[in-house]
Structure 1
Amino acid sequence: MSPARRFFRWLLRQEVISLNNIIYDSPRLVIETKDILLPNGKERKYLFVQPVEAVCILPTDEEYVYLIRQYRAVIDSYILEVVAGGMDKEGESKEDAARRELAEEARMQAEEIIPRGFVYSSPGFCTEKLWLFEARGLSPCEDLEMDEDEIIEQVKVRKEDVFSLIASGEISDAKTIALLTRVLNQ
């Protein structure tokens, strides 16, 4: 078990010694502080950023992976990444969310959606769990409406070029690197 996972399990078992202070609360995100009593007897205030769980999807075929180049306002830049999105629809399964995001962002549908586990996005302060999927048997699908803040272009990358793009920093998104590594190291 990774150190981050052990820490998260430990943190979830800790005694909360004061009421939570909710800073922000919406259907997609809760931000709060909690005072935690640590095993060494010390108290510490932790910031918990709690978004909805999300899915990340890597469309693949025999030779290529299909990424998207998307504008991210928070870093004021375009970034090369996998298709991803929040699981914010009531009753939607992980696989259904993956298929929806694949259609919305990559304009693709897949015969197979293969689970590749999960990662935490930033477990030092964030509870977000990212469910990883590979999509195979790709075909185009009808255009679905993108979110108004999504500025996306599809990018086809040869599998043999992926790790040099990571090494050069052209692919710098953590969830993308995690999913590419899981799929291409099979």
Structure 2
Amino acid sequence: MEIFRGRRLWIEQSAVRFPNGVEAEKVTVHPGSAVAILPVTPTGYRLLRQYRYAIGQYIVEAPAGTMEAGEDPAATAHRELIEEAGVAAKTMIPRGFIYTTPGYTDEKIWLFEARDLVPSREFEKDADEVIEIMDVTRDETDAMVADGTICDAKTICLIHRCRGG
């Protein structure tokens, strides 16, 4: 049964039967899929310091955004990289996907590594985004993950998954 529908997500409550036979009422949040991109620079990464209203603070994170209906993940990644980080990527490497919090949502975030960056004239943040662009070295990024400055799960996953390249 649908209990809420908004512009970007919907929430349902349903009876669930688990593989062990137990039945329970569960709530599932369906926000749709998204992408996250790690822009790789010659010396490190381009990250964002972005205000997140749900937690009431700024966090350091990779550019990311919601996929439009029917949009391919790679197309979303190219679009969001330009909109949020002001650069376009000549090379976009898929790095799989993650489920953010599968205990209550089916949200899937597709991960991409962006290389061969060039400035974009199409740079235009959404009106409700408060973003500062940060170019950081790989060592600075490692220190920020270690000390908790970078606490965003998708960004930590991206840094880990992109280390092979």
**TM range, normalised to the smaller chain?**
over 0.9
Can you list the C-alpha shifts for 1:25-76, whole angstroms capped at 9, x where unaligned?
2452111111112233321111111111001001002321110000001111
How many angstroms does 1:110 deviate by?
A: 0.8
Structure 2 match to 1:91: 70
More helix by share: 1
Instruction: Confirm whether residue 28 of structure 1 aligns to residue 25 of structure 2.
Output: no
Mean alpha-carbon deviation: is it higher for 118-127 or for 153-162?
153-162
* Paired residues for 1:20-59 under 5 Å: 21-59=1-39
Q: Give 3-state SS (helix, strand or coil) of 2:102's partner.
A: coil
Structure 2 match to 1:164: 143
Q: Distance in 1 between matches of 2:80 and 2:20?
A: 44
Code of the residue aligned with 1:184 in structure 2: it is: R
Q: Relative CO higher for 1 or 2, CA cutoff 8 Å, sep ≥ 6? A: 2
Instruction: Confirm whether residue 60 of structure 1 aligns to residue 40 of structure 2.
Output: yes
* Paired residues for 1:32-181 under 5 Å: 32-88=12-68, 90-181=69-160
Can you list the C-alpha shifts for 1:66-92, whole angstroms capped at 9, x where unaligned?
10000001111000000000002x432
- Does the CA-based 8 Å contact 2:87-2:123 persist in structure 1? no
Code of the residue aligned with 2:76 in structure 1: it is: A
Q: Distance in 2 between matches of 1:145 and 1:66?
A: 16
Can you list the C-alpha shifts for 1:103-151, whole angstroms capped at 9, x where unaligned?
1000101110100010001111110000000100011111433221101
Q: Moved runs in structure 1, 4+ residues, more than 3 A?
A: none
TM-score (norm 1): 0.84
Larger Rg: 1
Q: Distance in 1 between matches of 2:107 and 2:140?
A: 29
Q: Distance in 1 between matches of 2:162 and 2:113?
A: 7
Q: Distance in 2 between matches of 1:111 and 1:185?
A: 19
Total equivalences in the alignment = 165
% of aligned pairs identical? Answer: 44
Unaligned runs of 5+ in 1: 1-20
TM-score (norm 2): 0.94
